[in-house]
C-alpha cells in the first residue's frame, strides 16, 4: 500500500515538475521578448508547442535512438522524485545530493547515446560539446558541494535544508557567499543559458543534439529540458536559499534563480567551447576553492 502511495506521489511530482518547467520556459520567453522590445508569445505557449509536437508524426533513427532518449527522460524523472520540495518529500531519508547528480549525468549520457546513433555529424558535435561543458561546470560545482557538505556535516539535501532553518541569516547564501556565486555561474552552464549555450548553437551546428529530432522525439527533448530546469534550480534552492516551507514558496524561489539566469542570458553573447571550459575552471573554481578553504579552516 505504501509503495502504491509513493508511486502515485512520484507520478504527481513528475507531472508537477514538467508543468512548472514548461511554464518557466514560457514566462522566460515572454521576458526575453520584452527585453528585446517585442510583444512576445503568451506564457503558456510552451504547452501549445508540446501538444503540437506530440501530435506530429515522427521519424525514428533506430533502436538506440529511442532507447537513449527514453533512458535520459526516465533518469531525470527518477532524479526529481528524490528532490525535497518544501513539504513534499517522498523519500525523507534518501535525498542524497550525490545520487541526484549521478542520475542527471545518466540523463546526459542517455541523450548522448541516442543522438549519436542518428548519424548526423552536427548532433555528434553538439553532444561532444555538451559533455565537455559538463566537465567544465561539474568541477566548480563539486568544490561548492564539498564545502557545503563539510559546513553542514551531512550529505542529505533534506538535512541541509533543515540545517538552514530559522530565518534568512541561517541560509547558506549568507553563510557561504563565495560558494553561492560559484554555484550560480555553474548553474548558468547547467541550464545552457547564454554565455554557455554552445551546445545548441542554432546557426553554427543547427541546434546540435536536436538536429535529427522531430515530432514526438523533440517533444520529449523539450520535456527533458523542462524537468532538468526544475531539478537544477531546485537543488540550488535547497542548497543555498534554505529550502521552503511549502511548494509555492519553493517554486517562487526557483523562479528568482531562473530570472537571474535569464537576465544574464538576454544580454550575453556566446562563448566558444574552449573559452567556456577555461572560464569555468578559472573564476568559479577559484571561488569554490576559496570557499572550501574558509570552511575547512
Partner 1 sequence: MSQSQWSELVNYFRGRSMWMLHYCTGCGAIELPPVMTSRWDMERFGIIPMATPRQADILLITGYLSIKTLKRVVYTYDQMSTPKWVLGFGSCTINGGIYWDSYNVIDRLDKYIPVDIYIAGCMPRPEAIMDSFIKLREMVQKGEAKGYEKYTKNYEWYKANQDHVFGRSEPVLRKAEEVTKSA
Q: Give the footprint of partner 1 on this chain (CB under 8 A).
A: 29, 33, 36-41, 45, 48-49, 51-52, 55-59, 202-203, 206-207, 210-215, 218
CB of residue 72 vs partner 1: minimum separation in angstroms? 18
Task: Provide, rounded to whole angstroms, the least separation between the CB of residue 40 and partner 1.
Answer: 6
Give the cell for residue 130: 555538451
- What is the closest distance, in whole angstroms, from the C-beta atom of residue 25 to partner 1 in the complex? 13
Show the cell assigned to 32: 526575453
Q: Which is nearer to partner 1, 47 or 149 (CB)?
A: 47
Report the phi/psi class of residue 267: left, alpha or beta, with left for phi > 0 and alpha for psi in -120 to 50: alpha
CB of 101 to partner 1, least distance (A): 30
* Smallest separation (angstroms) from partner 1 to the CB of 120: 9
The Cα angle at residue 76 between residues 73 and 81, in degrees rounded to 5:
130
Cell numbers for 190, please give them.
547547467
Instruction: List the one residue out of 136, 130, 76 whose CA is nearest residue 281.
Output: 136
Say if residues 235 and 100 touch (Cβ distance below 8 Å).
yes
Cβ proximity to partner 1, 2 vs 203, nearer residue: 203
Rg (CA), the chain: 19
Amino acid at each position: 500500500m505504501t509503495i502504491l502511495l509513493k508511486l502515485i506521489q512520484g507520478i504527481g511530482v513528475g507531472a508537477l515538475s514538467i508543468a512548472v518547467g514548461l511554464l518557466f520556459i514560457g514566462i522566460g520567453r515572454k521576458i526575453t521578448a520584452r527585453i528585446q522590445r517585442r510583444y512576445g508569445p503568451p506564457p503558456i505557449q510552451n504547452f501549445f508547442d508540446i501538444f503540437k509536437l506530440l501530435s506530429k508524426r515522427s521519424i525514428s533513427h533506430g533502436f538506440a535512438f529511442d532507447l537513449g532518449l527514453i533512458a535520459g527522460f526516465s533518469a531525470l524523472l527518477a532524479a526529481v522524485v528524490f528532490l525535497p520540495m518544501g513539504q513534499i518529500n517522498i523519500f525523507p531519508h534518501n535525498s542524497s545530493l550525490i545520487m541526484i547528480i549521478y542520475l542527471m549525468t545518466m540523463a546526459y549520457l542517455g541523450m548522448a547515446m541516442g543522438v549519436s546513433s542518428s548519424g548526423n555529424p552536427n548532433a555528434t558535435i553538439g553532444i561532444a560539446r555538451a559533455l565537455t561543458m559538463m566537465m567544465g561546470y561539474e568541477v566548480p560545482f563539486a568544490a561548492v558541494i564539498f564545502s557545503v557538505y563539510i559546513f553542514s556535516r551531512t550529505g542529505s539535501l533534506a538535512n541541509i535544508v533543515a540545517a538552514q532553518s530559522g530565518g534568512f541569516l541561517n541560509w547558506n547564501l549568507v553563510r557561504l557567499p563565495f560558494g553561492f556565486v560559484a554555484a550560480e555561474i555553474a548553474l548558468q552552464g547547467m541550464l545552457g543559458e547564454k554565455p554557455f549555450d554552445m551546445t545548441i548553437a542554432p546557426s553554427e551546428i543547427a541546434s546540435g543534439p536536436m538536429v535529427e529530432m522531430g515530432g514526438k522525439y523533440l517533444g520529449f527533448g523539450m520535456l527533458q529540458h523542462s524537468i532538468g530546469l526544475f531539478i537544477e534550480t531546485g537543488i540550488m534552492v535547497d542548497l543555498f536559499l534554505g529550502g521552503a516551507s511549502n511548494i509555492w514558496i519553493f517554486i517562487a524561489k526557483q523562479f528568482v534563480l531562473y530570472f537571474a539566469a535569464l537576465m544574464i542570458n538576454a544580454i550575453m553573447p556566446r562563448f566558444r567551447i574552449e573559452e567556456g571550459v577555461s572560464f569555468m575552471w578559472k573564476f568559479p573554481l577559484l571561488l569554490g576553492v576559496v570557499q572550501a578553504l574558509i570552511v575547512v579552516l
